[in-house]
Amino acid sequence: MKANLDVLPLNSWIDTNGKPLIIAGPCSAETEEQVTETVTRIAKEGYAHVIRAGVWKPRTRPGSFEGMGEAALPWLAAVKKETGLPIAVEVATPQHIELALKYGIDILWIGARTTVNPFNVQDLADALKGVDVPVLIKNPVNPDLALWVGAFERIAGAGIKKMAAIHRGFSNAQETKYRNSPMWQLAVELKTLFPQLPIIGDPSHMAGKRAYLYEIAQRALDLNYDGLIIESHRSPDDAWSDASQQLTPEALGEMLRELEVRKASYGEDFQSELDKLRQKIDNIDRELLEVLAARMAVVEKLGEYKRDNNVAVLQLDRWKQVHNSRAEQGKKLNLYPEMVEELFKLIHMESIRKQTEVMNQQPA
Ligand code: PEP
Ligand code: MN
């Protein structure tokens, strides 16, 4: 994919003193007291550069709490005045944009369920023409990089240059320990495509549970993300939305203090050591590919043999045996079991594809 984006650096529109940008606040603005108390406690902790709060909540099914709407905006305007912290809210319609701006909201974000719909994103872009406001774009709920890229292009088309990506993870087809799969590779691909685009990790919506916030936040910092957006509520268990993933303002402070911020660049000695190790990796990767190619050549022979003897491509017992023995061997080599499993699933899928191809060719 080829794409181009005209974006301003993060520090040209928000001062974080060289530190990762921290956006904190409740999933939803519920009552004036809840907003005031939560934000006052966050401000007292001193880590946040921006306050977040959902005012319009896209809910999967009707009947759940759908946000307080316009009524919540004066509460946010008041805490902004009180603390001096800029406020970010989610917008999903042109009317949301109009109202947010009317109440002095500083930063807008487009939610994961909106990014999926190009008509919807274009409506927002049209409403943003001529407006100078930062826009953060969450990844679409489905792992489709082009859809995420397209949303940036549409918003950029409206003349917005203050943009950042929020990586909030992707819907799971299978049950996993996280509410949404991080699929880090997709965010890395976005970053590769738009190196100048700031990227913010959203551990809250990936984790779904407090217990996993720290490991995800650290992972984002290890990948040199520009910031984190994390939900915080005065009394998380009583939250009207996303109760199990929110932290008190103080617990969030504690967690943030535990995180290690990695350096983006390094000195000369480090660079030459790094180069040496990378060269080793380059060589090993070449060998890995050669080994894979050799394996595929055997697979092709096997395919021909099966074809000539009219035997089915897939033999379940054999696959089970491959699966189990590779898992065992991997374990002995101290390889991460899930990696070995995924790797052999892929290799096996490719073997089946290759053999099916051979099966449908005429013998030479
Ligand atoms: C949120 O930030 O509260 C939210 C609704 O997030 P997402 O769009 O990522 O689901
Ligand atoms: Mn939420």
Q: What is the pLDDT of residues 254-265, one digit of tens each?
A: 999 999 998 877
Q: What is the whole-number distance in angstroms between the Cα of residue 111 and the centre of ligand 1?
A: 6
Q: Hey, which of 137, 138, 216, 232 would you mutate to test ligand 1's pocket, going by the most ligand atoms within 8 Å of its Cβ?
A: 138
Query: What pLDDT, in 10s, does the model give residues 215-230?
Result: 999 999 999 999 999 9
pLDDT at position 363, please? 74
- Beta-carbon contacts of 74 under 8 Å, excluding residues fewer than 6 positions away, are 103
0.95 exceeded by pTM: no
User: What's the pLDDT band for 61 if we cut at 50, 70, 90?
Assistant: confident
The pLDDT of 82-86, averaged and rounded, is 98
Read off the pLDDT of residues 123-174 as tens digits, 9 standing for 90 and up.
999 999 999 999 999 999 999 999 999 999 999 999 999 999 999 999 988 8
Which residues lie with the beta carbon below 6 Å from any ligand 1 atom? Answer: 27, 54, 111-113, 138, 168, 205
Distance 197 CA to ligand 2 centre (A): 23
User: CA dist 254 to 42, 46, 258, 259, Å?
Assistant: 12, 12, 7, 9
Q: What is the pLDDT of residue 55?
A: 98
